[in-house]
Amino acid sequence: MNLIIDVGNTYVKFAVFSKGKQIKLYKTKTKKIISGLRELLKWKYVFNKAIISSVGKLNQTKINTLKKELDLIILDSELKLPFINKYKTPKTVGADRLALVSASVKHYNKSNVLIIDAGTCITYDFITSNNHYLGGAISPGIRLRYKALNNLTANLPLLETKHPNTIVGNSTAESIHSGVINGVVKEIDGVVKEYKTKYKDLTVILTGGDTEFLSKQLKSSIFANSNFLLEGLNFILEFNSD
């Protein structure tokens, strides 16, 4: 069995994979990563190997503790990857983006693929049919936009995420919902349209925490997969174990 550890800014996910399939998912606060692992180990899983990907802050002491418990690989730009990285600054590519591109190679090999990860940020990552990762874009995510309007203005309130009733907001709250949500939807549809203009045979994947919220609103033809990153991490682990 493989253990996949995806460390975010707030939460960490532990995913158990067996024969390429996810069979268990456990989630806890990032600051509780060690106790979370020990809780998982109580379930008597025997892990042959493990991989960790971190976009959050994880100190060396915790990493060393994890290494004592597991045969652990740390995902970074130096690790062997199943694609050719053409990014001009390859060492700055986030581990989450590397994992997502790897998942696209596993599921859509020899295809032009655009992966959209809608979370804290919205990332766009593009890999060509000849297995070249070219890069993409990084944009503020839904919650980040709501928070920015509240933090960087004097009078705008911080609202919970909500589908706007109409394009024309008839109150401050409705105007914010319209601006944030319609702005994100139009942005994603516009980016997909531009890629499709250049790459006729294009597969589009939507993943991340806001997948379910956004998928029904987008006009573009997409495949929604909220576990894409975890699948990519497992693929990288297997790729480095051959």
Q: Tell me the C-alpha distance between 15 and 214, whole Å.
A: 24
Q: Which residues are annotated as a binding site for K(+)?
A: 117
Q: Which of 57, 26, 5 is nearest to 237 (CA)?
A: 5
Q: Which residues are annotated as a binding site?
A: 6-13, 87, 94-97, 117, 120, 172
Q: Which residue is catalytic, options 71, 96, 201, 210? A: 96
Residues 6 or more apart from 10 whose CB is under 8 A from it?
A: 29, 30, 56
Alpha helices in the chain, H assignment, sequence order: 33-41, 60-69, 95-107, 142-151, 172-177, 183-198, 211-215, 228-239
Scanning the structure block, which residue is given the tokens 């915790």? 62
| Tokens, residue 60 | 């060396």
| Helical (H) or strand (E) element with 15 | strand 11-18
| Helical (H) or strand (E) element with 18 | strand 11-18
Our answer to whether residue 96 is catalytic in this structure is yes
Q: Euclidean distance between the first and final Cα of the chain, in Å?
A: 15
Q: Which residues are annotated as a binding site for ATP?
A: 6-13, 120
Any idea which residues carry the catalytic annotation?
96
